[in-house]
Amino acid sequence: MNLQPRQTPSPMWLKGTPASPSEVKPAQKAEQETERRVPESPLCCARCGHLITRERDRTTFNGRHAHTRYNPAGFVFHFGCFTRAEGCLVLGPPTAEASWFSGHLWELALCAACHTHLGWAFHGEGHFFGLVLDRLTAPD
């Protein structure tokens, strides 16, 4: 009988071996947390729990995933870019008025279950969703 511990391969979404806690710097810690996200992990409406998108659908626009913008009424929004958001109900008509991204039209993106405003669907050279990050949560 072989009593040696078995080596389990690390998942593809983890890069390298994590450093011991005493070796981890704050910037490394944030990077490791990002690397630990499971691509299939769902992101749900924080209000009702309806599935909105998945970690694998995170993307960048203008070189960043997260953006902070304010609308003409002065409300500030911190949102992330996603390639898909199947759980959103998109309401139009598309408009260029006060668009945060030159050459892009936008429509409202609501939770398809409870109709909470989650962000916007942007259409232009690239199509993406801008979803307000604090309105998304991991399922319980």
Q: Could you tell me the residue ranges of all domains in the chain? A: 39-137
pTM (predicted TM-score)? 0.73
Can you read off the two tokens belonging to residue 100?
A: 């945060």
Nearest 5 degrees, angle CA 50-CA 80-CA 106?
85
Q: Which CATH class is domain 39-137?
A: mainly beta
- Pair of tokens at residue 32: 């490791």
Q: What is the residue type of 133?
A: L
Q: What is the pLDDT of residue 38?
A: 76
pLDDT, tens digit only, all 140 positions of the chain: 444 433 333 333 333 333 434 444 444 444 444 445 677 899 999 999 999 999 999 999 999 999 999 999 999 999 999 999 999 999 989 999 999 999 999 999 999 999 999 999 999 988 999 999 999 999 87
Question: CB-based contacts of 86: which residues, under 8 Å, 6+ apart?
Answer: 51, 52, 53
pLDDT at 59: 97
Cα-atom radius of gyration of the chain, to the nearest Å? 19
SS3 56: helix
